[in-house]
Amino acid sequence: MIDVRWCGDDEEDRRLVPLYVLVNGRTHPRNTSLDLATQVIALPADTTALDPEYRAIINRCETWMSIAEISAKLDLPLAIIKVLVDVLLERGYLALGAPAQKTVADRWLLETILASLQKL
Amino acid sequence: MSQKSVKVVVAGGFGTGKTTLVGSVSEIPPLTTEEVLTQASVGVDDVTGIEDKTSTTVALDFGRITINADTVMYLFGTPGQDRFWYMWDELSVGAVGAIVLIDTRRLSTSFAAIDYFERRGMPFVTAVNLFYGECPYDEDEIREALKLDSAVPLLWCDARDRSSSKRALIGLVQHALARLS
């Protein structure tokens, strides 16, 4: 089935504003370091003027939350969440965790992970 | 901000127990997210008979383990269909490594995953899932059948069992550490 949320077919979905309008037709985040595991957190700000989709994301990010978790909890595709999160980062509603690394070759980090797993 | 995420990829053929393993070690019930494939998959996915279909969704199961106050580990199960390679690329960038699950009744379903991580030069361990009881083969036989490089660890696990899945994860991190030296 065609993903009605993606193409904005409101006959079936009852979504009045297609998601691509919400993001001004943007198809990719400008910040290309955004990874599905990148974490974000809400910054204190007045969100009343924002569209509900944006507010829903901010409400989910009272604690650090990954792009993948936001996508799963709001039941929206990863690609659209990345763009929405990118817009919120640009406007200062969200703060960004450490950017995704190209390779994990950090001995100290691996040893920390190992010690923590062994305690689980 | 120094909030860090680390990724682990859980791969293997269809039905090898990826989602089961993710679920048994995750501190939250596994979540599912989806990615939408559009024009890019035309010519790759067989759309005969469903030409009107303009998009395909790829489901992705994942779980999380809190490592410490500023580090979270995410475990991503690869999409069931091996052809969604572009998704594998995104999962693998910056990942600690991968666990490739093996079902000895259908070894060939895990070839693609082994091949992928070998070519990428990414640390990975193979884990024979003993989901269905005793394994009739020994380690040498399985290694030979998989044409596995001797440097790649082969572990035994029961993906349903938390401590067993945890051991596979520990095996992967130890392997990743060993490759650094």
pLDDT digits over A95-120, tens only? Answer: 999 866 666 668 999 999 999 999 98
Q: Searching chain A, which residue's CA lies closest to the CA of residue B55?
A: A2
Phi (first) and psi of residue A72, to 5 degrees: -65, -45
* CA–CA dist B64, B72 (Å, integer): 7
- The owner of tokens 């689980």 is A120
pLDDT for B15 equals 82
**Average of per-residue pLDDT values in chain B:** 86
List, in sequence order, every residue forming a beta bridge with B9; answer none if it has no partner.
B76, B98
pLDDT for A15 equals 64
Structure tokens at B132: 């269905």
- Within an 8 Å CB–CB cutoff, is residue B176 touching chain A? yes
Q: Do A104 and B34 touch (CB under 8 A)?
A: no
Task: Map B66-97 to HEC letters.
Answer: EEECCEEEEEEECCCCCCCHHHHHHHHCCCCE
Portion of chain B with pLDDT greater than 90, in percent: 58
Q: Which residue has the higher pLDDT, B53 or A23?
A: A23
Q: Indicate the residue of B36, B62, B174 with minimum beta-carbon distance to A68.
A: B62
Give mean pLDDT, residues B18-28.
Answer: 94
Burial zone of B51 (CB within 10 Å; 0-12 exposed, 13-18 middle, 19+ buried)? exposed
* CA–CA dist B137, B53 (Å, integer): 44
Q: Do B2 and A98 touch (CB under 8 A)?
A: yes
Q: Do B35 and A79 touch (CB under 8 A)?
A: yes
Are B35 and B123 spatial neighbours (Cβ–Cβ below 8 Å)?
Answer: no
pLDDT above 80: residue B44: no
Q: Do B94 and A110 touch (CB under 8 A)?
A: no
**Residue type for B70, please?**
D
- Within an 8 Å CB–CB cutoff, is residue B177 touching chain A? yes
Q: Do B3 and A7 touch (CB under 8 A)?
A: no
Burial zone of B173 (CB within 10 Å; 0-12 exposed, 13-18 middle, 19+ buried)? buried
CB contacts, 8 Å: A64 with chain B: 3, 72
The matching CATH number, chosen from 1.10.260.40, 2.60.200.20, 1.10.10.10, 3.40.50.10740, for A30-119 is: 1.10.10.10
Q: What is the pLDDT of residues B124-139, one digit of tens each?
A: 999 999 876 777 889 9
Q: What is the pLDDT of residues B98-118, one digit of tens each?
A: 999 999 888 888 898 999 999
Q: Do B173 and A114 touch (CB under 8 A)?
A: yes
Portion of chain A with pLDDT greater than 70, in percent: 80
Q: What is the pLDDT of residues B1-11, one digit of tens each?
A: 578 899 999 99
- Within an 8 Å CB–CB cutoff, is residue B50 touching chain A? no
**Cβ contacts of A79 within 8 Å, gap of 6 or more:** A27, B35, B36
**Cβ contacts of B89 within 8 Å, gap of 6 or more:** none
- Within an 8 Å CB–CB cutoff, is residue B31 touching chain A? yes
pLDDT for A29 equals 80
Q: What is the pLDDT of residues B72-82, one digit of tens each?
A: 999 999 886 65
Q: Which domains does chain B have, with CATH numbers?
A: 4-180 (3.40.50.300)
Other Cβ atoms within 10 Å of B102 Cβ, number: 28
Give mean pLDDT, residues A34-62.
Answer: 93
pLDDT for A33 equals 78
Structure tokens at B42: 């035309």
- The owner of tokens 């995750």 is B26
Delimit the domains of chain A by residue range: 30-119
pLDDT for A60 equals 95
Q: Which helix (DSSP H) or strand (DSSP E) does residue B156 occupy?
A: strand B154-157
The reported pTM is 0.85
**Residue type for B126, please?**
T
Q: Which helix (DSSP H) or strand (DSSP E) does residue B36 occupy?
A: strand B31-37
* CA–CA dist B172, A102 (Å, integer): 18
If interface means Cβ-Cβ distance under 8 Å, which residues of chain A face chain B?
1-3, 6-7, 35-39, 41, 64, 66, 68-69, 71-73, 77-79, 95-98, 100-105, 107, 109-114, 116-118, 120
Q: What is the pLDDT of residues A69-86, one digit of tens each?
A: 999 999 988 888 999 999
